[in-house]
Structure 1
């Protein structure tokens, strides 16, 4: 006997809930000292352009916050001047203009040009750079033909329920899980790795199923299956780095340099590598090096130095980084330092992520920075924010810098997730949603999910 509320009632309640949740977010931003943003553009099924912006900061209790600010419809074309104005309008609307530190975007030319027109630091998306490197290397090293045949084989099963059923029977006979094959998508990170990994896992079942069917597919040769196995080995470290840097609930900015350094080591050419692997590794190393030059190394180095898991950098960069931190400390206002409650930690060797500096014994400077450098690093699995929360009193000025630099995300993945959410809301049957309702629904979904996770 329950009578459903009418459309106007539902709309009114959504508006009220949005305003209540927005007020909570405004209060959080008012208390934040520094705020980092990520931004990107998205086109809906109704061919409308939207700008998505997310906020990221560390609060006074050393909790990392990440949530959507807006997904607003843009009526102008994506010229750099218009994009810059959009960023400024969002910052002004949320009253964070004076608090914004970095804006993370992809490496699109319009975005990069827009950042030059703004006073904020630009944080190019590391995940986008890595994905572009992989795409270029796959095309240049001879994997294109093999991957094309893989896509046709996967499509043979994805587009036919009867073929899928036959594959599942073969999987059952081999006591394997009934897993569907995965089709890669050029815009989805790591999807090529997922496709070849699933194919390799079900190699015998796929061969047996296709042997019973009449088809015009070009089967993979033994050499090509071996090629896929080697490609899987090459791409797995890239997947790890992408997932590591794409998180929102943990610090990622300080992990960029320690993660990219061992990644370059995995593509060192060995004597056992066939010619196509040598070409892939050479192209990967060259392309990634060029894309790394566009990263905000100044910010990344300081963030790494202020992360107690790493602290130090390679020998050639170390002196300049600590000099930069010292200069930043001099600009920081004096903060009251409470009486110490425990003895200062004994001076120990600094643990570096770069092997060429592990044996170097270096005396740190005097003062707060020297005490911080003398303290031992923590485990790579520990949370740096927990350590800063307990050591804030011992390093009041350094902790303020840490809150600022560690709060910036390394990628624009948060915005990508917002657009994935928006795509589920603005569907073909809901393409007529007004831009105001799109913003309310997307932001509310993101905010309520964050509130649930933080409980």
Structure 2
């Protein structure tokens, strides 16, 4: 008989609870099954034995109570220390990666689930302090792994942007991008750092340098990709890094500006009123859903365009065109000031959809961080220019819109880092024929690459300053004049790379470089530097989306260092998908 569950030498046992626990305030007689209140005094229990079970009390307890321990009984034993510690660590990981509040460790429902799953009904969740400590330990461990990985690469590209939380606090987010030894493109969050100062150019530059110094990569950073805000552009002039303006921002800004005061203004205003009529009224939305079902369409909500949300105008136009009949029938049920676009205006919307679709494709293409994007910018823009060619079937208003969009994009494209993009395009085996450039510009790209190769070619060892015998001066002179051979080697290296055939557009350029690095070692060093650069600052946009899930209304008062740890851990501990695609 277990002493922990019995008293008076096993003649009374504590009452068992349905969940497997025991109630130590109730004692049950093993002879007559009577239940007694127990408050640490056995006087009443002894009186019961003397009065009712005198003969039985002198004999040992019934043998039926001396059963062998069952598997269920074993399962209910308390968890050992190592298992409890492992559970605490996994809880800290769960809180970090799933954006859960730390207060969840005080949730009774979670505690009961773990008790049932483990069979230990005495298990207690770790407190907030323990969970926070575990998270800090996890952060330091994962940070050391990321720092070691970054230390092993020769060049790192950064993206950066500022974000304001619900608590009206400003944070700087920075991500790092590089190739590992197997040509796998890696991306890591470096920091989400709280900032107090105004975002002036010199302050912004100091913030980025501080992050680079904290990670010991200030001599490895090749580029910094940001949006085209004036303070970012001015800050880039004070930094020793190449600046890469976000290509997607440039394209979306050109679309937004061209749509203003365009021939599509009137019909877009009508669409916004129609969408708002159903967005702001649940009964109207319910009637629209009924009409969607009647027309065999899915019950999809309409999309409202937002000036700062990329491609939202295209999504609004699509939703209106797709639900043309349901919208028309629903609006006819009531007398409202909201009117559907006319057939001529619906035709305008269809033409606008056809124009904006290539822009959406390019935005999504350039916004990836799991594949090479900087080398795709110029071919993508070349495709867009071809798609925007005015045809004979285009009405005058559409031709005017296309020309205005391309003119605005031309002006913005000149502000980007064209030299970097040209070299990146040449280093991509899919586009190294440079068909996206004018023939006059192609020779200049290869001259630039030749100059870059001279800069990274192995330098001649320094000669000792001590005096040498006269017979060695001739050899020294020949050593100093060996630059012609070196130039020949660089020219041969470049010619060998240019002689390689271009690969299919669907092929992976990183796999090609992984297989050909030995044959083109100097070119591969350039490729690692130029192809790792993201063409957009979308990685930071995704980072701020994650930050928004963490810094919720109930967690708006999170300490800045905890925000940084939670965001970084959520990125570092999340399962990593293959990036050589």
TM-score (norm 1): 0.91
- Alignment pair present for 1:306 and 2:430: no
SS at match of 2:430: coil
Which of 479, 490, 499 matches 1:374? 499
- Alignment pair present for 1:434 and 2:559: yes
Q: CA deviation at 1:225?
A: 0.9
Q: In the alignment, which residue of structure 2 is the partner of 1:393?
A: 518
Q: What CA distance in whole angstroms lies between the structure 2 residues aligned with 1:216 and 1:424? A: 38
Report matched runs for 1:111-260 at 5 Å.
Answer: 111-260=232-381
Q: What CA distance in whole angstroms lies between the structure 2 residues aligned with 1:13 and 1:453? A: 29
Contact 1:106 1:128 survives alignment (8 Å): yes
Q: In the alignment, which residue of structure 2 is the partner of 1:66?
A: 187
Q: Deviations over 1:367-420 (max 9, x none)?
A: 111111111100111110000000011011111111111000000000011011
Q: CA deviation at 1:425?
A: 1.2
Q: Deviations over 1:345-382 (max 9, x none)?
A: xxxxxxxxxxxxxxxxxxxx951111111111001111
Q: CA deviation at 1:180?
A: 1.2
- Alignment pair present for 1:327 and 2:451: yes
Structure with bigger gyration radius: 2
Which of 436, 439, 442 matches 1:318? 442
Contact 1:305 1:312 survives alignment (8 Å): yes
Q: CA deviation at 1:148?
A: 1.9
Q: What CA distance in whole angstroms lies between the structure 1 residues aligned with 2:312 and 2:286? A: 23
Contact 1:105 1:123 survives alignment (8 Å): yes
Q: Deviations over 1:231-255 (max 9, x none)?
A: 1000000001000100000000000
Q: In the alignment, which residue of structure 2 is the partner of 1:419?
A: 544
More deviation in 283-292 or 419-428?
419-428
Q: CA deviation at 1:264?
A: 1.3
1:330–1:454 distance in 2 versus 1, CA, 3 Å = closer
More deviation in 5-14 or 131-140?
5-14
Q: What CA distance in whole angstroms lies between the structure 2 residues aligned with 1:214 and 1:442? A: 50
Q: Deviations over 1:170-205 (max 9, x none)?
A: 111111112111111211111111111111111111
Which of 525, 535, 538 matches 1:410? 535
Q: What CA distance in whole angstroms lies between the structure 2 residues aligned with 1:6 and 1:276? A: 66
Q: In the alignment, which residue of structure 2 is the partner of 1:341?
A: none
Q: CA deviation at 1:430?
A: 1.1
Which of 110, 118, 121 matches 2:231? 110
Contact 2:450 2:491 survives alignment (8 Å): no
Contact 1:67 1:450 survives alignment (8 Å): no
Unaligned runs of 5+ in 1: 336-364
Q: What CA distance in whole angstroms lies between the structure 2 residues aligned with 1:449 and 1:159? A: 37
SS at match of 1:311: coil
Q: In the alignment, which residue of structure 2 is the partner of 1:449?
A: 574
Unaligned runs of 5+ in 2: 1-120, 460-489
Q: What CA distance in whole angstroms lies between the structure 2 residues aligned with 1:369 and 1:110? A: 39
1:366–1:102 distance in 2 versus 1, CA, 3 Å = closer
Q: What CA distance in whole angstroms lies between the structure 2 residues aligned with 1:317 and 1:131? A: 27
- Alignment pair present for 1:26 and 2:151: no
TM-score (norm 2): 0.71
Contact 1:140 1:279 survives alignment (8 Å): no
Contact 2:433 2:502 survives alignment (8 Å): no
Q: CA deviation at 1:454?
A: 7.2
Q: What CA distance in whole angstroms lies between the structure 1 residues aligned with 2:296 and 2:339? A: 27
Greater relative contact order (Cα < 8 A, sep 6+):
1
More deviation in 275-284 or 120-129?
275-284
Q: How many residues align?
A: 426
Q: What CA distance in whole angstroms lies between the structure 1 residues aligned with 2:282 and 2:322? A: 20
SS at match of 1:39: strand
1:384–1:452 distance in 2 versus 1, CA, 3 Å = closer
Q: CA deviation at 1:26?
A: 0.4
Q: CA deviation at 1:334?
A: 4.1
SS at match of 1:449: coil
Contact 2:157 2:222 survives alignment (8 Å): yes
Q: What CA distance in whole angstroms lies between the structure 2 residues aligned with 1:57 and 1:214? A: 60
Which of 75, 86, 89 matches 2:210? 89
Report matched runs for 1:330-341 at 5 Å.
Answer: 330-334=454-458
Contact 1:140 1:283 survives alignment (8 Å): no
SS at match of 2:160: strand
Q: CA deviation at 1:103?
A: 0.1
1:454–1:143 distance in 2 versus 1, CA, 3 Å = closer
More deviation in 388-397 or 443-452?
443-452
Q: In the alignment, which residue of structure 1 is the partner of 2:80?
A: none
Which of 5, 10, 13 matches 2:134? 13
Q: In the alignment, which residue of structure 2 is the partner of 1:356?
A: none
